[in-house]
A and B are shown apart, each in its own frame.
Chain A
Amino acid sequence: MSVARRWDPCIYHRGVHAAGFIREYLSHDDRRVMLVAGGGFDPRSTHICELMTEVAAGRLQGLFLREERPGPHPELLRRAEANCALLRSWLPNAMIRHIQVLATDNAAVGGRNAVSLVNGISLQGFTDIFVDVSALSLGVAFPLIRHLLETVKRGGNGTPRNLHVVVMDEPPTDHAIRSITGDLPAPIHGFRGGWGLHDKSRAATLWMPQLSRGRQAILRQIYQVIRNAQPDTVVCPILPFPAARPRLSDELIEEYAVELQESWQVDARDLVYADEKSPVDLYRSILRIDDARRRVFSEVGGSQIVLSPVGSKALSLGALMAALEQNFTVMYVEAIGYDVDFDRLDARISGPAGEFVHLWLHGEAYGTPHDSEGAGT
């Protein structure tokens, strides 16, 4: 029996379709758009703004968040300033706000600060909010999207009706930026999902980490926290398949061999494959698993799914959608800094651009259940 899902069908575009959609959609004069995006060193900070400025000049407002962490490399600051100057040149009235991602004791507070900041900004008069997560960390982006989703759902006079999420999917840029992660795994603000509650103490816990290169240390830390709380936790890793490189999932299995076999004791049947290019595929896969588990464990304490989307940003949006729909716990470790391979990053800037991914999370397209139509590509 199929269960009705919030984003099935989902309005989702990728690549030229995404750019085409944004151009066409924003060309209507009645669209008044608020763009919320990162305003940091990441070269992807400016892509979506540039595109939107071309088609919605005069109807576009920008809110750019500069994530601040202690002791940044001077080159990162220089690049962030340059990106902000570029954004200002397109949107002279744009708001550029600084967000402290870490408290003085290294606790992750970026998500809470971002939500608090955005909550204090009037969204009156805008029809659409676009959140560009390309240059935002998950700890900031996820709470922000949840907050804005609740805001648009609540509605009210003059508040925006539509919420979109966009990301520039550019794996080589991801590879050039290495996070220096902290050592305090915790649920993302707003994504606790009942983690730690007494009522969930008997729940069968399933952890679904999204595997990607060079993230073993983070995932080991997260697993330790989960296992300390729920010793019987079962692990179902998410692997990207189909993927641009067909052997990628095999390579990840090899890279994570010790974790999969010894620490997490993953059964070969418990691997979850999700299309590398489709967040919606991952969203559906997670919810299918959740449906099955709910039925099985309903009489013995229930089921609890914990997600750790530490891989590509585009795929992590699938985890976000699933977590929003079923209130899953999203556990991660905040970056306390970045170690950037500038040569590699610059090589990407001069090379071919990545692909836009667009998700329409809420609004006119989903007006009533029967008139929602999929336009996925």
Chain B
Amino acid sequence: MENPFLKRASEYLRDDEAFLAVVSPEPVTFFLRGRGQAGTLYDRLLFMQGTPGSGKTTLARLFEYPTLTALLRNRSSSGYQSLAGALVECGGIVDDRPAVIGCRLTMETDYRDFWEFPYNETLKIGLLTTFVQARAVLAWFRHLASEGVSASRIRIVPRSDAETAVDAIGGPDAEGVLARAREVEAAAYEIVGALIAPREEDLSPAVTGAYRPFDVIDRIEVVPQNDATSPLSLLPLVILDDANVLHPSQFRALQHWLARRELRIARWMIARFDILLPQEALNAVTEDRAEADFPGLTAGRDIEIVLLQSSGPRREQRTAFRRMAKDMAGRYLQKHSLLGPRRLIVLSDLLSDQEESISPSALREYGEMVNAAQRRLRVTDSRREEFEKEVDSFRSGGRAVPPDVRLAMLMVLLHRYDRRRKKVATLFETDPEPSRPIAANSDVHEAAKLHLLHRYNRPFYFGIDDLCDSSSENAELFLQLSAVLVETVATQVIRSKGPQLSAGTQSRLLRQRAEWIINKWSFPYFQEVRQLVTWIGKRCVEVTQEPNGWLTPNSYGISQEEFENLAKNYPDLARVLQFAVAYNAILLVPNYKQGSKIWCLLELGGMVNLAHGLSLRRGGFLEGEAEALAALLEERPS
């Protein structure tokens, strides 16, 4: 039985319809609708950033012309309507016709090589932009051809102020534009493929000449085959995917070049979430060369930034991810050969959110431990009663806490009281007041549940929200975690049991799966990354288990200043962190204010949190220094 959750969305690329069937409209709506309505989606450079699996390419692919036309072909089908609606909202579809002609160019190959040529920087960037433009033009023509539109039915509409430059791109006929683009691409490809870079004076005029279709083209029109319909006017959109592969200087130059306001075509750049780079690269991305290279250009105004993951308004983003993940799960469940036909297509219904308490004997044992702690800490009965009342009045999700959590919360409060009361007892004061009031709040509740997880393996991770939150806002990780739950649901259904998974089963499966995923890491420096996160994870567990539950951390904080000098002072650590961040082992939360200090938090990814049994709540961090992490890496992983 095939489990659709084990496939990435991009694995459905072979077939547009299959791809569209699993794509959720939620990310389109969350990330792009507002910008589409504000008009900033197509009139300036859009820069999209996220880790692998965060859905960058899926989002981009939706705007490719063949995908849009496939969506429109199937718009009457209920499965596609919400997606079509989302694309209408952000201007990709207007009046039931495509409004943009998107093409996606992956920067994975070829383009980076221009940087290695022994030419001056201007020429190298010029070659790159020429190549990009030729390939974009070819891709637009290719997409139209795949929909049965021949070059003879295509009309290139130039910008009103660029009509005289049409000849330089092979115009005015579309056939001429196509032929010129092929000529330029072939010439550029010959250079990039040459074993030895040709001398500058030997470069073909096709690539050194004035070939600037992005500066010339305003719209692409498709002439209808009959007079019954009006010409289709399309806004050209070029999407440069995986732009992080470019050399940082190329990346910066390309970004500035595309950010020019006078361009009429829409342009998006997509890059992996690479914050840390070795020194030279870091310099290139941190220096603001906008003023020097392109006067009057500012990133904030001219570049629209979309961060797909864990930055900006983090609470809002987490909520949006939950919505998207639930929708996506529903779509995948519909494709499940066993669960789909049985209409078991709401993942949250399949995951029980009923807490499971520890066994009665464990509860008795724990109660005795609480009594012993009370005696050891010399807390009076009246003070304990006061704490018990405090806990009894606490509500989680509108409900009173179960007995085991009640005891654990009481344990935390007893220890907090011990820490906060006067240390020097007096003859007349047997029950001193604490320095600060002691309340049973959500922090105490969280700490208590984590204590029970570590002491009695009480289920901690269950319910759809925990599943979403442990996915580090990464669609691929969400699918990987869900896959194991869905498989177990299917097994229960086959055995004629109820489909819903208990909290205990969920928690166990999720933690096992997380460990499995971590063990299967195979990205660069994964062993060092594993060593790093294991060290942080263990330290967080130690603090989490402290009896007063003062902190439930899942992050390691270093000062922002130290972080900014990381590549210079600790290049090995920077390199390892680069991949840790790129592959969701660590999420960076820069400029985090705590007290008078500004921190950069290295927040453990969801898999690490699950594997170590850490809180999924954000903000709890251990204060530390980069030096400690660097020293750790000097001990080679085994």
Contacts and interface: CB of A to CB of B under 8 A. Distances in A.
Contact of B278 (A105, A116, A184, A217): A105
A183 B245 CA distance: 10
Count chain A CB atoms within 10 A of each CB in B11, B57, B181, B193 and give the residue with the most: B193
Contact of A105 (B106, B196, B281): B281
A354 to B, nearest CB: 28
A113 to B, nearest CB: 8
B110 interface: yes
Given A186-B109, A192-B110, A119 B196 contact: yes
A228 B195 contact: no
Contact of B57 (A196, A198, A228): A228
B430 interface: no
Interface in B86-117: 106, 108-110, 112-113, 115-116
B110 A196 contact: yes
Contacts of A51: none
Contacts of A147: 195-196
Contact of A198 (B182, B192, B245, B636): B182
B13 A231 contact: yes
B186 interface: yes
A302 B186 CA distance: 17
A339 B142 CA distance: 45
Nearest to B572: A71
B6 A184 contact: no
A232 B14 contact: yes
Nearest to B192: A192
Contacts of B278: 70, 104-106
A192 B185 contact: no
B13 A112 contact: no
Nearest to B196: A119
Interface residues of A, number: 48
B245 to A, nearest CB: 6
Nearest to A258: B6
Interface stretch (B155-163, B398-406, B522-530): B522-530
Given A109-B116, A228-B10, A186 B108 contact: yes
B525 A112 contact: no
Interface in B516-548: 522-525, 527
Q: Report which residue of B110, B522, B572 has the largest number of chain A beta carbons within 10 angstroms of its beta carbon.
A: B522
B182 A227 contact: no
Interface centre among A194, A198, A336 (most CB of B within 10 A): A198
Contacts of B524: 106, 180-183, 336
B148 to A, nearest CB: 14
Interface in A213-252: 216-217, 224-225, 227-229, 231-232
Contact of A197 (B186, B196, B522): B186
State which size class the interface on B falls in.
35 or more
Contacts of B6: 262
A262 B3 CA distance: 10
B477 interface: no
A185 interface: yes
A229 B11 contact: no
Contacts of A150: 195
A36 B381 CA distance: 85
A228 B248 contact: no
B135 A198 contact: yes
B196 A184 contact: no
A321 interface: no
Interface string B570-593: 011001000100100000000000
A192 B115 CA distance: 17
A279 interface: no
B280 interface: yes
Interface in A174-188: 180-187
B233 interface: no
B13 A105 contact: no
A73 interface: yes
B279 interface: yes
B220 interface: no
A106 B248 CA distance: 11
B216 interface: no
B138 A198 contact: yes
B189 interface: yes
A95 interface: no
A143 interface: yes
B234 interface: no
A112 B113 contact: yes
B284 to A, nearest CB: 9
25 contacts: A71-B571, A73-B636, A103-B115, A104-B278, A104-B279, A104-B281, A107-B247, A109-B116, A146-B195, A147-B195, A180-B525, A183-B579, A186-B108, A186-B109, A186-B112, A192-B193, A194-B189, A197-B185, A198-B135, A198-B185, A217-B522, A225-B108, A225-B109, A228-B10, A336-B524
Interface of A: 70-71, 73, 103-107, 109, 112, 115-116, 119, 143, 146-147, 150, 180-187, 189-190, 192, 194-199, 201, 216-217, 224-225, 227-229, 231-232, 262-263, 336, 339
List 10 tightest A-B contacts by C-beta distance, closest first: A217-B522, A198-B138, A104-B280, A231-B13, A231-B14, A192-B193, A190-B195, A105-B281, A147-B195, A104-B278
Interface of B: 6-7, 10-11, 13-14, 57, 106, 108-110, 112-113, 115-116, 135, 138, 142, 181-182, 185-186, 189, 192-193, 195-196, 245, 247-248, 277-281, 522-525, 527, 571-572, 575, 579, 582, 636
